[in-house]
Amino acid sequence: MARILIIGIGNPLRGDDGLAWHATRLLEQELKGQDVEILTCHQLTPDLAEAASRSELLVLIDACAEGAPGSLAIKPVAPAGSFPGFTHDYNLETLLKTSQSLYGCCPRAVVFTITAESFPYSSELSSCVAAAIPPLVARVRALVSGFHKDSAGRHESAEEGPLSRPGRADLTTVN
Amino acid sequence: MATQRIEINPVSRIEGHGKITIYLNEQGQVQDAHFHVTQLRGFEKLCEGRPFYEMPSLMARICGICPVSHLIASAKACDSILATRIPTAAAKLRSVLNLAQIVQSHALSFFHLSSPDFLLGMDGDPAKRNIFGILEKNPSMARDGIRLRQIGQQIIEWMAGKRIHPAWVVPGGVSEPLTPECRDRILAVLPEAGEIAQRTLDWFKSVIDQFRAEIRTFANFPSLFLGLVSQNGELEHYNGVLRVVDSRGNIVADRIDVLQYQDLIGEAVEPWSYLKSPYYKPRGYPEGIYRVGPLARLNIADRCGTPRADQEWAEFRELERGAILSSFYNHYARLIEILYGIERMEQLLKEPEVLSRNVRAFAGANNLEGIGVAEAPRGTLIHHYKVDENGLITWANLIIASGHNNLAMNRGVLQVAKHFVNGAKLSEGMLNRVEAVVRAFDPCLSCSTHALGQMALHLQLVGPDGSVLDELRRG
């Protein structure tokens, strides 16, 4: 089982909405061999709950419409909300809730967003969003690295005695 | 003359966009009904001038649910232009890929789109009557649906590189041979898929009697059934010959080479839909109404050809003496086909030949015309191309599975509306049943709206009081 699941979401033919596809392409190269599963999709669906339930950390990368174009935001997400009446309204909170309801567990989850400038019919990113991709990739890489270190520490502590506590990777918000 | 109109827009839990109009008379009784497909695709035109070898990848973009079917039918049409016989291993691998897609697409239809009607009731709360309602009401069924679909999609990804719009199927065969590791991975997940399919079939058979009214009225009328069968009459989704049976189960046409499809099938258009209306040519329009898809395939075949599916097929065919007529039974047929697909994939993958390194024939354009036919999840899929001497497409015609069912879906909508809809007192459950009859066919409307010649058009200028002030008809 891959312990970290990264999901890039968006439409790669609608300008900045496809930023996650650009980011996950870079992450695929940078995180090769690190027990990370990377998926890209146009929207979240209940089918992803199974993959989510098999992971310990879920990273979602998405475009957002609020804030200054090109700004990066990172926030933790917990399972919540009621199931929507329409699959297009399905979000990360309800995906986590689905994972918990169907499979009895859900991973810790963090969402990374970059504010989009525009959504034209194009596979190109606007310059400010393209410039924000490398910092996003660096932050995800740091999170993954921190997660692996924490896990290794937990593993060692668990071998030492029962007083160990789960670690927590860095989750600051950047604007 | 109709005085009132009920519009269901959009029809929910189907693939693509459609609406239903029900016309009521002065007494509030249903007089007529139409299922309109409101989207238009332009693939036949936009492919003109493109090299024929681009067609499989181009045509796969017609659909995100069944791109493999379009890949395969298109590649077969291109094989015909190459005038080559593709390597046997390539044909078997294409066949496995097509079956994997049928498993995942049928799982989507049964679990995600239709099971809310079965589990939460046709009259259940519409806010809950969806896949999320299933998550709450029956988590084990939701898990089964997710897993079965995932297995089908995973097999497609392992074989062809990605789940949606893979490029592995090419004119002349497939681009890469199957590795032993990939074969073993697929064989390892099939038993779990088989258990899910059998468990779901057993459950569905135990509850199907709760839907007697729907079975009686969901497009339950005599019609012809059309599809591919193997040379010895077994269920066949990749190769084979066309067979037509009537409502009594009598074979009307048999062993028809797919290249002769135009002798069997005519195409008509109506002004109220972008979906064309194919019909069985010898009986004319609209008398030549026929159905394709899971129910039709089980009606035309002499048997499935795999052990467990054959047992289920025998039990299924005992439902009626002749052909099974109610389209509600498409759901049942879909589950049997899932079981068949899993068993058949296992049979094919255990043949040593599937690991052959010879999987592609190379040639240029040797024929100026090519026809490719395969069974898609929703029924018979026909791609027909003409090319110039440089191999550039000059003309294309597509007859898509859901299009074959257009006449039957419309008659089914009218039948259900007449039975359930009372214009004096409408309920949501009544209208849900009108949608559910369409859902039983599992139409893929984004796939199926392909024009024939000049688009038929019916334009009405309607005044504020609803009266028609002016009218224009074309086609």
DSSP state letters, B242-255: EEEE-TTS-EEEEE
**Domain A4-160 annotated CATH 3.40.50.1450:** yes
pLDDT tens digits, B344-388? 999 999 999 999 999 999 999 999 999 999 999 999 999 999 999
Q: Integer distance in angstroms from the first to the last C-alpha of chain B? A: 23
The Cα-based distances of B346 to A144, B59, B190 in angstroms read 39, 28, 7
Put simply, the answer to whether B135 touches A46 (Cβ < 8 Å) is: yes
Put simply, the answer to whether B127 touches A101 (Cβ < 8 Å) is: no
* Cross-strand bridge partners of residue B458: B473
Best B111, B129, B135 member to test A by mutation, with max A CBs in 10 Å, is: B135
| Residues of chain A that touch chain B, judged by Cβ-Cβ distance less than 8 Å | 46-47, 49-50, 83-87, 94, 98, 101-103
Nearest to A84 among B132, B143, B150 (CB): B132
The Cα-based distances of A122 to A19, A23, A115, A119, A125 in angstroms read 12, 17, 17, 8, 8
pLDDT band at A93 (very low <50, low <70, confident <90, very high): very high
Radius of gyration of chain B (CA): 22
Spell out which residues of chain B touch residue A88, defining contact as CB-CB under 8 Å. none
CA separation for the pair B24, B22 (Å, rounded): 7
CA separation for the pair B70, B374 (Å, rounded): 9
Put simply, the answer to whether A46 touches B142 (Cβ < 8 Å) is: yes
- pLDDT on residue A2: 59
pLDDT tens digits, B414-449? 998 888 887 777 777 878 888 888 889 988 877 766
Least confident of A92-96, B198-202, B229-233: A92-96
- Is the model's pLDDT at B296 over the cut of 90? yes
Best B108, B129, B146 member to test A by mutation, with max A CBs in 10 Å, is: B146
Mean pLDDT of B250-278: 92
CA separation for the pair B62, B70 (Å, rounded): 8
Nearest to B146 among A50, A83, A94 (CB): A50
* Cross-strand bridge partners of residue B471: B460
- pLDDT on residue B235: 98
Q: Rounded to a whole number, what is the distance in Å from the CA of A165 to chain B's nearest CA?
A: 32
CB-CB contact of B104 with B79 (8 Å): no
CA separation for the pair B346, B428 (Å, rounded): 44
A-B Cβ pairs (cutoff 8 Å, strict) = 37
Put simply, the answer to whether A47 touches B136 (Cβ < 8 Å) is: no
* Plot region of B172 (φ>0 → left; ψ -120 to 50 → alpha; else → beta): left
Nearest to B204 by CA among B138, B153, B151, B146: B138
Mean pLDDT of B387-393: 97
CB-CB contact of B324 with B175 (8 Å): no
DSSP designation for A134? H
CA separation for the pair B17, B26 (Å, rounded): 30
* Closest residue of chain A to B108, computed from CA coordinates: A47
Spell out which residues of chain A touch residue B147, defining contact as CB-CB under 8 Å. 50
The four Cα atoms A137, A139, A145, A148 give a dihedral, to 10 degrees, of -110
The Cα-based distances of B18 to B34, B272, B454 in angstroms read 10, 11, 21
Mean pLDDT of A93-101: 92
Tell me the domain boundaries of chain A: 4-160
Q: What is the mean pLDDT of chain B?
A: 90
pLDDT band at B302 (very low <50, low <70, confident <90, very high): very high
Mean pLDDT of B165-171: 94
User: H or E segment at B57?
Assistant: helix B55-60
Whether cis (ω within 30° of 0) applies to the bond prior to B10 is yes
Whether cis (ω within 30° of 0) applies to the bond prior to B286 is yes
Least confident of B59-68, B225-234, B363-372: B59-68
Nearest to B345 by CA among B171, B188, B144: B188
Nearest to A58 by CA among A40, A73, A37, A72: A37
* Closest residue of chain B to A97, computed from CA coordinates: B135
Question: Which segments within A14-80 are labelled E, that is strand?
Answer: 36-41, 57-64, 72-77
CB-CB contact of B267 with B286 (8 Å): no
Q: How many Cβ atoms from other residues are within 10 Å of residue A46's Cβ?
A: 22
Spell out which residues of chain B touch residue A49, defining contact as CB-CB under 8 Å. 146
Put simply, the answer to whether B135 touches A47 (Cβ < 8 Å) is: no
CB-CB contact of A7 with A39 (8 Å): yes
Put simply, the answer to whether B132 touches A101 (Cβ < 8 Å) is: no
Tell me the domain boundaries of chain B: 4-457
Spell out which residues of chain B touch residue A24, defining contact as CB-CB under 8 Å. none
Spell out which residues of chain B touch residue A101, defining contact as CB-CB under 8 Å. 135-136, 139
Put simply, the answer to whether B139 touches A84 (Cβ < 8 Å) is: no
Least confident of B79-83, B196-200, B279-283, B463-467: B463-467
- Is the model's pLDDT at B463 over the cut of 80? no
Q: Which of residues 81-140 of B touch A (CB under 8 A)?
A: 112, 126-127, 130-133, 135-136, 139
| pTM for this model (two decimals) | 0.88
- Is the model's pLDDT at A169 over the cut of 70? no
Put simply, the answer to whether A102 touches B127 (Cβ < 8 Å) is: no
- Looking at A43-107, list the stretches that DSSP marks H as alpha helix, in order from N- to C-terminal side: 48-53, 92-103
pLDDT band at A165 (very low <50, low <70, confident <90, very high): very low
- Is the model's pLDDT at B15 over the cut of 90? no
- Report ipTM for this prediction: 0.77
CB-CB contact of A18 with A123 (8 Å): yes
Q: C-alpha angle with apex B130: B32 to B401, nearest 5 degrees?
A: 55
CA separation for the pair B288, B246 (Å, rounded): 11
Token pair, residue B141, equals 């069924």
Q: Rounded to a whole number, what is the distance in Å from the CA of A83 to chain B's nearest CA?
A: 6
Best A47, A53, A91 member to test B by mutation, with max B CBs in 10 Å, is: A47
Please give the class, per CATH, of domain B4-457. Answer: mainly alpha
- pLDDT on residue B247: 96
Query: If you write DSSP's letter for every residue of B82-129 in order, what string do you get?
Result: HT-PPPHHHHHHHHHHHHHHHHHHHHIIIIIIIHHHHHH-TTS-TTTS
Token pair, residue B114, equals 């239709």
Q: Rounded to a whole number, what is the distance in Å from the CA of A112 to chain B's nearest CA?
A: 25
Q: Rounded to a whole number, what is the distance in Å from the CA of A73 to chain B's nearest CA?
A: 29
